[in-house]
Structure 1
Amino acid sequence: MPPPSVHHSSKVTLPREDATGLGTAALFPVVSEQSDSEADDAAGGLSADRFHEVIQELGRPVVTASDAARILGVSQAEAVERLDALAGAGRAERVDVTADPVVWYPTHLQALAEREHVIAFPDRRELVVEHPQQFTRAQLAQFAHLVDSTRDGAYIYRIREEDIWQAPYDHLDGLLRTMRGVLPERSPHLEEWVERQWTRARRFALVTHPDGYTLLSASSPELMGNVARQRLEPGEHLRADVSDTESWVNDEAIGEVKRILYEAGYPVQDQRDLETGDPLDVDLRLDLRDYQRHWVERFEERGSGVFVGPPGSGKTVAAMGAMASVGGETLILVPSRDLAEQWRGSLLSDTALEPDQIGEYHGGEKEIRPVTIATYQTAGMDRHRTLFDERRWGLIVYDECHHIPSAVFRRSADLQAKHRLGLSATPIREDDREREIFTLIGPPIGTDWSALFEAGFVAEPEVEIRYVPWADDMARNEYVSSEGHERRQVAAMNPAKVDAVRALLARHAGQKALVFVEYLDQGRAIAEAIDAPFISGEMRHGERSALFREFRDGDREVLVVSRVGDEGIDLPNAEVAVVASGLGGSRRQGAQRAGRTMRPAGSALLYVLATRGTVEEDYARHQLRHLAGKGIRVNEGDAPMAVEGDGGKGAGDAEEERSEGDGDGPR
């Protein structure tokens, strides 16, 4: 295998073992505090650049006078004079050592070692990026998948087939330009593979026949015969063969056709002439931001897609822009009644729609109107499904669409013969089925998170993992003697976290704060300790809505919230979020909870508590990996502990066991 290539502005490479154990190289770029000519004068003709070239040639970060004399072609005395002059100018350090009378090394060695550099393994399609800048991580997110990160600031990325298939570019040249801007050097082998994947993703398409029915079109007879017709069932998926490259598709099976071909390695381009449904004028009462307008324009071109952006970026507003663009009756699918009510409020305040034009269809209300907001569960039930099928919807909006691959939500995704728009800040799943999100709804449409941070549209959160010691030996011994899920649960419910929560909230006294928990008994214990309400799925819907409203209106400063607060709930004035326990290492949940503090202005803080020396340390880092991949820096440190208090009394037994998927247990 050829050696990895390394990228950095200085192009100076020092071999060493990196934190990942992959045998990569550390780069020591020049930190220029004065011009090269000034450095040359100060160092008697030896500039900092030339000093680093000497280091490069030696392959180690320290230099002896004899080394410098040999490489510079001068006497040893002159080399000593030049090195001492460089040290006198503050550009190098001199130290006496046992093995050699004197060695010199760069003054900013530690700082330089922490500079960003990229190591590429083209044959494996992997990248190791040490200390990446936010811009670099945002660019990588366009075409690569974050696999892992280390405590030492190394991020490991892999370029997968689906990353190229779903890359948010209209042309291959745009994708290649982004890749070349990040990779240390061009790799013809890698670029050829990318071009093959780009082409592969455009070999099948769904198109509309002039007579109105849907055709599956292949780029060649061989692909149609050997791939599509071998995998798709006559009658169930395909109604009839139209030509060597075209087959008539059952409208009811469009979603399944796309999924099957995707799994075969052939994404299907959806180029149908989609219905607009019964006409509906949706006039916006606000202006779209430039990037939101761009999202809507891309959606208009494709007829389907998923708006992907950080919490607080206005995906709901952009969706209303898509509603106005389509101009047809709209079905909005949401995961909860809370979110349905929130959507209704936004439509009434931000559009000219009248109250009698908006209906809700869920466990509380059942109204079908020109704009209908329904829960996924209700829309997927057989006894209600006919009502949704009979309506000529021009647009279906799938909010929090990362749920679509799960069984209970997926049935609602079969409404395929329409414009389809998904919304999600976190289209990731721990079961690795995120590809189905884009298969069933459409390709991702979004903006670099870093661009929104830098433009001031969304506040970049400060994210910190805070490690908590055990409350006492009894708690530690319980952890040691347990295993599996029980062990994770014991670590998550460490009673010392109660004091840690109190200390953090005291540090941010007067600020709006949310405390998230995974276990009901822990939530009750923390709520009692800090004298705040605990909102969970056990609370009546009306009471829950009232507490969220009080928080938004400023009548409450602190809420303790279970998983019901993870998704979609609009709490724009939350300034601090403390995660006392979470859903294992769920990356989506980590991003969702961080999103509760992300808004256009002010500070945004997320603390994730983890019991030191337990599996929670790894879970916490894994949970925040999605944020790290989007350019947000994650720091680690010890949690402050309250001096006074009851040490977390009442922590008790945890709620029932949950999986890391879309479980239907207590929320």
Structure 2
Amino acid sequence: MTPEPTAETFYDALEAIGQPVVTATRYAQQRDLDHDEATDALDALVEDGPLLRQDVSSDPIVYYPEEWSRMTDRERIVVFPDRRQLVVDQPRQFTRAQLSQFARLIDTTGSEGYLYEIQPADIWQAPYDDVDALLGTVRDVLPDREPDLEAWIEDQWERAHQFTLRTHEDGYVVLEAASADLMGNVARQKLEAGQLRAELSDTESWVAEESVATVKRTLYEAGYPVVDRRDLDTGEPLPVDLHPELRPYQHEWVESFLERRSGVLVGPPGSGKTVAAMGILSRIEGETLILVPGRELATQWREELLSQTTLTDDQIGEYHGGQKQVRPVTIATYQTAGMDRHRHIFDDREWGLIVYDEVHHVPSDVFRRSTDLQSRHRLGLSASPVREDDREEEIFTLIGPPIGTDWDALFDAGFVAEPTVEIRYLPWADETARNEYVSAQGHERRQLAATNPAKIEEARQLLRQHEGQQALVFVDYLDQGRALSAALEAPFVSGETRHARRSELFEAFRSGQRDTLIVSRVGDEGIDLPNAEIAIVASGLGGSRRQSSQRAGRTMRPDGRARMYVLATRGSREEDFARQRIRHLAEKGVTVTEQSAQAVESDAPESDDPDSS
């Protein structure tokens, strides 16, 4: 018979293990119990009061003494070396800064707790000259030496320095391996015929110029990131100064980028990635190509460059459907830069810097053609480079490693306002709407839930509640956008809106002349709406995690706290989508709450969706 658990036996186990918290697995090993017995024993102590439990992810769950929860000023770090995860409670700013050098924040546990994970790419791109310096930082942060973890870090560091691209004295590109075995059994086995033109030695191969990006991507996927040390031109000198003073973390971004010559700035909207990019431009002082997904963003870049730098109007060109100017700083759309009839214009220029704005588009077939353009420096910008097709690794392979600051740290420092996100679950507007949903299938069913007429009245009440504040209402469906526009007496901006009219409405919103806009997916990215205080997501929950970040990001500004409301139909798959998509924001430290809306009374049953669980 298993003895009754006591606080004393728990403390004995903690002392034997040498950690401030314990998982059921470790407790079972220490007390010679099976996993279920250990879980039952620990849960019983939680119910009796001396212990607390914390779900840091689906696994592990950690247990710790209740009195420790009152020690709010104490930093605690628990290491799970097999998972390469760290649970950090009440971290100091120094600890966060150090962790950002070799780990990434993947979840928040609530009550100032954070879950970090160390992935191979974090070690490959760690900003250190040698592995000893990296291990020095790891040892400064962790409470104890972790030999197995350190051995894994050393192995990953070595992998990241096995292949190098360099320029031969005759001008062609050479791939060099640290050993003949790596060149023969990795590079020449993985790469296709024609990508390596010739064997120069046992450790060197001539790389086809057009295959450089493919070679880097293939070896990265094989677990061997390539160090790129090619001699690339910077074009004509371009002296330029930046007007605003960079924030401390923006200085770190700039220095980190210049050290590596490539990278992706990852930070929440409002954190100043564009200004940091201009800071990089002013340090490089070379001809620059800026690639953007749409014409609105091209216009915004031009205006920002003129207001934030010493560049003059005749030094900045735009190259897209509306204009065809190539100048020392050229702003072009991805689509135009990838077209065969325009490609030579960009190939013939020697770029010192290429900026890929909204860089998460790059893995798509149309956009990735721009990654073959040659430049000494490549800079990507994105609030959230995650992709639903899990191709974000290609972003870092084609452009460079992620460079960023934890969203939570920027919230705490006051550089970016943390929005409060609230999921509101609505009943059906009436029995007819509910019956239509029950009878529908597939996409029609999703659309009916997304366009539930009850959302119109809920949006109206929310706008009344926040009267006088600037609000954006996001929709995915044109009919819903038109219905909301009529009901709320606010303009609807969609892809069908003429470019001139769209620009006029955005400028009116930006200047405060309009306080409400209904926006389709055209507003998800690449449009500067700095004064949005309220965001209402009426539909679009089936979209990507990145979309939720972008829509929440419309309210992330330094001045004041803003709110984002996500409307989901109760008893439909929208409930699941809401939790899944908004969880991505919660993992970044954004406060997320849930509430049942009272705007519409209905006797609809709690769930009408046979697929919901």
Q: TM-score, normalised by structure 2?
A: 0.82
Residue 466 (structure 1) aligns with:
424
State the secondary structure of the residue aligned to 1:123.
coil
Q: Is the 8 A contact 1:138 1:630 kept in 2?
A: no
Equivalent runs, 1:551-630 vs 2, <5 Å: 551-582=509-540, 584-630=542-588
| 2:293 is the alignment partner of 1:335 | yes
Amino acid paired to 1:277: G
Q: Distance in 1 between matches of 2:599 and 2:44?
A: 49
| Distance in 2 (alpha carbons) for counterparts of 1:145 and 1:259 | 22
SS of aligned partner of 2:244: coil
Alignment correspondent of 1:11: 20
Q: Is the partner of 1:515 in helix, strand or coil?
A: strand
Q: CA deviation at 1:470?
A: 1.7
- Deviation readout 1:176-221 (Å, 9 max, x if unpaired): 6776788787643333223322321221122233444322121111
Work out which of the residue numbers 478, 485, 495 in structure 1 matches 2:436: 478
User: Relative to structure 1, is the Cα distance of residues 476 and 230 closer, same or farther in structure 2, using a 3 angstrom cutoff?
Assistant: same
Deviation digits for residues 97-148 of structure 1, max 9, x if unmatched?
xxxxxxxxx9999999xx9998865435567x69998989998777667888
Partner residue in 2 for 1:393: 351
Alignment of 1:508-523 (within 5 A): 508-523=466-481
Q: 2:343 corresponds to which letter in structure 1?
A: R
Shift in CA distance, 214/616, structure 1 to aligned 2, threshold 3 Å = same
2:158 aligned residue (199, 221, 245): 199
Percent of aligned positions with the same letter in both sequences?
A: 64
Q: Conserved in 2, the CA contact under 8 Å of 1:329 and 1:371?
A: yes
Report the counterpart of residue 222 of structure 1 in structure 2. 181
Conserved? CA contact 1:510–1:557, under 8 Å: yes
1:38 matched to which residue of 2?
none
Match of 2:454 among 474, 477, 496: 496
Distance 2:173 2:290 in 1: 24
Shift of 1:276: 1.1
- 1:597 partner letter: T
**SS where residue 325 of structure 2 aligns?**
coil
Separation (CA, whole Å) in 1 of partners of 2:38 and 2:298: 52
Q: Distance in 1 between matches of 2:92 and 2:385?
A: 20
Does residue 444 in structure 1 map to residue 402 in structure 2? yes
Note the C-alpha offset of 1:25. 8.6
Residue in 1 that maps onto 2:206: 248
Partner of 1:430, secondary structure, is coil
Q: Secondary structure at the match of 1:532?
A: coil
Query: Following the alignment from structure 1 to structure 2, what is the Cα–Cα distance between the partners of residues 211 and 157?
Result: 46
2:351/2:374 contact within 8 Å kept = no
* Equivalent-residue separation in structure 2 for 1:155 and 1:491 (angstroms): 34
Report the Cα distance in structure 2 between the residues aligned to 1:393 and 1:14, rounded to whole angstroms: 53
Name 1:662's counterpart in structure 2. none
Task: Name the counterpart of 1:62.
Answer: 48
Q: Deviation at 1:173?
A: 5.9
Counterpart for residue 293 of structure 1: 251
Partner secondary structure for residue 253 of structure 2: helix
Distance 2:574 2:75 in 1: 28
Which of 308, 322, 326 matches 2:266? Answer: 308
Q: Deviations over 1:564-602 (max 9, x none)?
A: 111121111111111111151511001111111111111
Counterpart of 1:165, as a letter, is W
Q: Tell me: CA distance 1:147–1:431, structure 2 relative to 1, closer, same or farther (3 Å).
A: farther
**Residue 282 of structure 2 aligns with which residue?**
324
Change (3 A) 1:469 1:430: same
Counterpart-to-counterpart distance in 2, 1:553 and 1:411: 37
CA contact (8 A) 1:14 1:60 kept: no
Task: Note closer, same or farther for the CA distance 1:12–1:358 as it changes in structure 2 (3 Å cut).
Answer: closer
1:406 is matched with: 364
The 1:483/1:142 distance shift into structure 2, 3 A limit, reads: farther
SS at match of 1:394: strand
- Structure 1 distance, partners of 2:168, 2:107, is 46
Change (3 A) 1:426 1:499: same
Report if the CA contact (8 A) 1:463-1:605 is conserved. Answer: yes
- How far apart are the structure 1 equivalents of 2:578 and 2:89? 19
Tell me if structure 1 keeps the 8 A contact 2:541–2:574: no
- Counting only pairs closer than 5 Å after superposition, residues 340-355 of structure 1 correspond to structure 2 as 340-355=298-313
Shift of residue 622, structure 1, vs aligned partner: 2.0
User: What is the CA-CA distance between 1:550 and the residue it aligns to?
Assistant: 0.4
1:423 matched to which residue of 2?
381
Partner Cα separation in structure 2 for residue 167 and residue 625 of structure 1: 27
SS of match in other structure, 2:310 = coil
Per-residue Cα deviation, 1:315-334 (whole angstroms, up to 9, x for no partner): 11111111111211111100
Partner of 2:332: 374
Residue type of the alignment partner of 1:553: S
Distance 1:386 1:605 in 2: 47
> Cα distance 1:237–1:132, how it changes in 2: closer, same or farther (>3 A)?
farther
Distance, in Å, in 1 between the alignment partners of 2:445 and 2:92 is 35
Stretches of structure 1 lacking an aligned partner (at least 5 in a row): 27-54, 65-90, 92-105, 644-667
Name the residue aligned to 1:530: 488
Q: How far apart are the structure 2 equivalents of 1:23 and 1:489? A: 43
TM-score of the aligned structures, taking structure 1 as reference length: 0.76
Return the letter of the residue paired with 1:304: S
Cα gap change, 1:155/1:413 in structure 2, threshold over 3 Å: closer, same or farther?
same
Change in 2 beyond 3 A, CA 1:636/1:143? farther
The CA RMSD measured in Å over matched residues stands at: 3.9
Separation in 1, partners of 2:467, 2:362: 39
Aligned residues: 565
Kindly name which structure, 1 or 2, has the bigger radius of gyration based on alpha carbons: 1
Indicate the SS of the match to 1:257.
helix
1:397-444 C-alpha deviation (Å, 9 max, x unpaired): 110011000111111111144321111111110100000001111111
Q: SS at the partner of 1:567? A: coil
Task: State whether residues 139 and 448 of structure 1, in contact with CA within 8 Å, keep that contact through their aligned partners in structure 2.
Answer: no
1:162 aligns with 2:121: yes
Q: Deviations over 1:336-372 (max 9, x none)?
A: 0010000010011111222121111111111111111
